[in-house]
Structure 1
Amino acid sequence: MQSNTKKLAGNALVYGLFGLLQKGLGFFLLPIYASLLDTEELGIISTSTAVISFLVILFGLSLRGSTAYYYYKFKDQDIDYVKKFFGTNFSFILLFTIFGILLLLIGKNWILDVLFKNIPFKPYILLSLASVLLQPVYLFYQSILKAKHQAKKASLLDFLFFGAMASITIILIVVFNFKAEGALLGNSIASFLVFIVSVIGIRKEITLCFDITLLKTSLKYSLPILPHNLSGWAMNMVDKLMLNNLNSLSVVALFDVGAQIGKVVNLISLGVNSAYSPWFFEQVKTQPEAKGTIVNITDKIILLYACVAVAASLLSPEVLVIIGKPSYYESWKVVPFIATAFVINGFYFTYSNVFFLEKTKYLPFLTVTGAITNLTLNYFMIPAYGIFGAALASLTTKIVFTLLTYIICQRIYPIPYHRLHLTVIFGACFLLSCLPFLIQDYLQEISLVQRILIKVLTLALIFIPIIYKNASQIKAIIKK
C-alpha cells in the first residue's frame, strides 16, 4: 500500500512538473505574439487553436478513456486480448479521424467556415486540419503510457510536443518573419514529430487489427465520457469561437492575451494540485483528523492563489507595455476577472478529489451544466460588452460550477470548510484585483518605472502582513 502511494505521488509530481513546463512554454510565447503580431494575426492563432482542441476531442471519441480500465481489467488474464483491444482502438481512431476530416472538407461551407469564421482556408485552416489529423494517435499512445505508469516517458513525449512547437514557432516568427501561419505550421510540424514517435512506440503495445466486437465494447465505455470532455472544452475555450463569430478576430486576441496573464493563477494551481491530490487521498484513508487538516491547508492554498491573482492583475498593464504592441494594452482589463475565476477554480481543485472516491458519475452532469452556462452567458454578454462580456461570463461560470460541485461534494464527503473566511478571500481578491480600474488613468502621467515601483510597494504592503501572520504554517506546508 505504501509503495503504491509513493508511486502515485511520484507520478503526480512528474506529471505536475512537466505540466508546468508545458504551460510555461505557452506562456513564454505570449511576448513573441504580442510584440511581433497584429491583433488579427493572434486572433487567427487563438481561434484556430481552440478549434483544433475541439476537433481532436471529438474525433478521439474519448476512446483513450477506456485504456486504463481495460488494461487493468485484463493485463493479468489475457495480455493478447489487451493488445488486440488497443490495436482495434488505434485503427479506429486513425480511420475515424481521416473520415471526419474528409467530411469537414466536403461540408466546408457549412462546418469549417462557421468554426473558422473570418479565417482564410489557405494556409490557416489546412494547417489546423493537419494538426487535427495527427494528434489523436499521439494522445492515444499517451493514454497507454499513463495506464502502464510510465510517467517519465509520457511526460517526455508531451514535452517533446510542446517544446518542438514552441521552438519551431519562435524560429519561424522571429527569424523568418512568419505571422499566424508560423504558429500553426509549428503546431502541425510538432504534431507530425510526436505522431511518428507514437507510431513507433505503439508497435510493441498493440496487435494491429479491427475487431468489431472489441470496438463496440470500447465505444460503450468511452462514448458516455465524450459529452463530459466536450463540456470541459466548452467551459474553457468556447469564448474564443464566440468572440470571433459575434465580434472579430482582433477582439479574440485582446481577450486571449489578457486571459493568458490571468491564467498564471491556473498555472500555479495545476502544479499545487498535482501534489495535493495524492496527499488528499492519503489523508482521507489514513488520518482520523484528516478533515481538519484539509480545511487548514485549503485556507492557505486559496490565500496563495488570491495573492498571485492580485499581483497579476495589478501589474498586468505594465507587463503589457513591456511585452506588447500598443494595440494590446487594453487586454489588462480582463485580467482581474480571469484571475479571480481561476482562484475560485483552485478551490474546486481542493475538494473535487472527493468525486474520485468512486463517485465520478456526477462529473458529466456538472460539466455539461457548466458548459451550458458558459455558452448562454457568452451568447448574451459578448454582443453587449465584448471582451468584458466574455470575461464576466468566465467568472460567473466558475462561480456557478464551483457552487454546484461544492454542494454535491459535501453530500458525498462532508468537509467543514471555513466558508465565510473563503468568501472573504474571494471578495477581497476580486476587489484588490480591480484596483487598476481606479488608479491606472492617474498613473499614466508618470513613468513606467515609477508605476512599477508604486505597484510593487502596494503589493508588499498587502502581502507582508499575510506572510508574517502565516509564516510558521507556510514553513510547515512547504516541509510536508
Structure 2
Amino acid sequence: MTNNLLRHSAIYSFFTLLQRGLSFFLLPLYTIYLTKDQYGIISLFMAGIPFFVLIAGLSIRGSTAFYYQEYKSKTKYLRLLLGSNVAVLMIFSGLIFAIMLIFSGAFITVFFRGVNPYPTFFLACVSILLQPLYYFYQSYLKAKERAFKSSMYDLLYFVILIGLNLYFILIRDKQANGVLMAMAISNLVMFMIALADMWGNISLNLNLSLIKKTLKYSLPILPHNLFSWAMNLSDRIILNRLTSLEIVAIFDIGSQFGKVLSIVTLGVNAAYTPWFFQQVKADYIDKNKLAVVAESLTLVYILFAAIMSWLAPELLLAISKSQYGESWKIVPYVSFAFAVNGFYYCFSSVFFLDHTRYLFRLSIFGAAFNIALNFLLIPFYGFLGAAIACLISRVIFCIVSFYYSQRIFYIPYRVLNIVSFFFAGFLLTTLMFLTEPLYQDVSLVKRILAKCIMLAGIGTPILLWHWRKVRAAIKK
C-alpha cells in the first residue's frame, strides 16, 4: 500500500508539475500581450471562479473517496449513490449559474470591481456552471486509484486551454475576454467527456435518502474548502478595492511562483488521502508510519519552497517584463504558506473520518482571520502585506487545526522536528532579502548557477539522510 502511495504520488506530482509548467508558458503571453489592468481582471477571476465552483459543487466530491472505499463491494448501491450525486451537482450548478446572472450587478460590485457584465462576467459564469461535474469525475477516478487516467484528462484540459489562449490572444486579440472564453470552451469539452465516461457506471436519480447521506458528509466540508480559496480570493479583492487592478497583477505574478508548491502538495494529497483511509481501516494501524510519512513529505515541501523562493527573481526576469520585477518579494511568503498547507494535508484526513463537523468552526475562524489580516496589512504594505497575511493566517489555521485533529485521532508526530524544519527553511529563505542586491550586476546564467549549487549543497544531504530514516521506519 505504501508503494501505491509513492507510485500514485509520483504520477500526480509529475502531471501536475507538467501542467504548471504549461501554465507558466502562459505568463509571458499574459505579461507581453495583456495590459496590466487586463491581467488584473484575469487574476481576479482565476481566484474567484474556483471559489464559486466550490459553492456550486457543495463539496460533494469531498465525499467520493470515503464512500467509494465504503461501498465499492456493493456495486448497485454505489451506482445509485454516485448517480444521485451527479444529479444534485447538475441541478445546483444550474441554480447558481442563474442566480449569478440575474444578480450580476451585485456580484460585480462586491467581488469583481471594474469588470464588464457581458461578455466578461458571463464567460466566467459558464465555467462556474460546468466545472463542478468535471471535478467530481476527477475525485471519482482518484477514489478508484486511476491515477494515470485522471492525470491524462487534466493534461488534456490544460492543452486545450493553452491552445485556445494562444488563438484568442495572439490571433483574435481578445485580451481578458479571450482567456475567459478559452476557459469556458475547455470546461465544456471536459464536462461532456466526464458525463460520457461516467454514464455507464451511475444510475441517475434523485433519491432523497442518498442525497441526505451525501450532504450530511459533504456540507460540513464546504466551509473548510471555501477557506482555502477565500485566501486566494480575499487578498485580490481587497487589493483591488484598496489599490488597483495593476497592483493585483503584480501580486498575482509573484503568487503564481509560490503556488507551484501547492500543485505538488495537491498532487501528493490526491494519492495520500485514499492511502490514509486504507491505513486507518486496516486491522492494525501503524501510527508511527503515518507520522514518518508526514514528516518526510513536510521536509520535501519546505525544501521545495526554499528553492522556488531563491530562484524566483531569475525566473521572473526570464518570463516577464521589468515592470513585474518586485513580484519576487511575494514568493517566499506564499511558497512557505503552501508548505504549511502541505503539512496540514497530512493530518487533515482525520477530519474526514466522520468528524467533518469540526471543519465548519475551524474554517470560519481561518477565513475571518485571513480577511481581517488582509484589511490590516494591505493599507500599510500593499501587495507585500497580502503575502504576509497569507503566511500568518495559514500558520495559525494549521496550528489550531492540528490541535483538534490530535484530540480526534492521535498520531505521534515529532512536532519539534517539524517546527525546526519550518524555522530553519524560512530563515534560509529570508536571507535572500539581504543577498539579492549583491546579484544585480551578475549575469542571469551565473546567478542561476550560483544559487543552484548552493541549494543543491544544502538540500541534497538533508533529503538523502531523511529518506534513509523513512525507509527504515516503513520496513519495520
TM range (shorter): 0.7 to 0.9
**Counterparts of 1:174-323 in structure 2 under 5 Å?**
174-208=170-204, 210=206, 215=211, 218-274=214-270, 290=286, 292=288, 295-323=291-319
The AA in structure 1 aligned to 2:31 is A
Deviations 1:55-108 (A, max 9, x none): 2221222344455666677776683x7656555554443343333333222222
Percent of pairs identical after alignment?
42
Gaps of 5+ in 2: none
One-letter amino acid matched to 1:256: D
State the match for 2:27 in structure 1: 30
Q: Is the 8 A contact 1:35 1:323 kept in 2?
A: no
| Distance in 1, Cα, partners of 2:276 & 2:144 | 23
1:330 alignment counterpart: 326
Q: 2:374 aligns with which of 378, 383, 403?
A: 378
- Is residue 136 of structure 1 aligned with residue 132 of structure 2? yes
Q: Does 1:60 align with 2:93?
A: no
Give the distance between the partners of 1:174 and 1:315, measured in 2 at CA: 29
Query: For 1:286 and 1:97, how far apart are their aligned partners in 2?
Result: 37
Q: Which amino acid aligns with 1:393?
A: A
CA–CA distance in 2 between the matches of 1:112 and 1:89?
30
**Map of 1:432 onto structure 2:** 428
Alpha-carbon shift at residue 412 of structure 1 (Å) = 3.5
Tell me which residue corresponds to 1:39. Answer: 36
Which whole-Å deviations, capped at 9, do the CAs of 1:336-390 have from their partners, x for residues lacking one? 1112212222222333344455544433332332222212211222222211111
Q: Does the 8 A contact of 2:5 with 2:271 survive in 1? A: no
Q: Does 210-219 or 429-438 show the bigger shift?
A: 210-219
| Unaligned runs of at least 5 residues, structure 1 | none
Deviates more, 1:68-77 or 1:155-164: 68-77
Deviations, residues 247-274 of structure 1 (Å, cap 9, x unaligned): 2222222112111212233333344445
Q: CA deviation at 1:190?
A: 0.3
Cα distance 1:229–1:345, how it changes in 2: closer, same or farther (>3 A)? closer
Corresponding letter in the other structure for 1:46 = S
1:407: which partner in 2? 403
Whole-angstrom distance in 2 between the partners of 1:444 and 1:48: 34
Following the alignment from structure 1 to structure 2, what is the Cα–Cα distance between the partners of residues 218 and 295? 30
| Structure 2 residue aligned with 1:122 | 118
8 Å CA contact retained: 1:105, 1:112? no
* Cα distance in 2 for residues equivalent to 1:464 and 1:58: 42
Whether 1:459 and 2:455 are equivalent positions in the alignment is yes
For the residue of structure 1 that corresponds to 2:334, the secondary structure is: helix
**Of 315-324 and 300-309, the range deviating more from structure 2:** 300-309
The one-letter code of the counterpart of 1:392 is I
Aligned with 2:444 (options 444, 448, 454): 448
| Conservation of the 8 A alpha-carbon contact between 2:5 and 2:275 | no
* 1:44 partner SS: helix
The one-letter amino acid paired with 1:56 is V
- For the residue of structure 2 that corresponds to 1:110, the secondary structure is helix
Is residue 51 of structure 1 aligned with residue 48 of structure 2?
A: yes
Paired with 2:53 and 2:360, the residues of 1 have a C-alpha distance of 19
2:418 partner letter:
L
- State the number of aligned residues: 476
Query: Aligned to 2:441, what secondary structure does the other structure show?
Result: coil
**Where does residue 96 of structure 1 map in the other structure?**
92
Deviation for aligned residue 1:426 = 1.6
Return the offset for 1:468: 7.2
Contact residue 52 and residue 132 of structure 1 kept, 8 A:
yes
* Worse-superposed segment, 248-257 or 22-31: 22-31
Check whether the contact 1:50–1:241 (CA below 8 A) recurs between aligned residues. no
Measured after TM superposition, the shift of residue 189 of structure 1 is 0.9
**Structure 2 counterpart of 1:40, one-letter code:** D
How far 1:40 moved relative to its partner?
1.9
Distance 1:264 1:174, change over 3 A: same
CA distance in 1, matches of 2:236, 2:93: 24
RMSD: 3.7
* Secondary structure of the corresponding residue to residue 115 of structure 2: coil
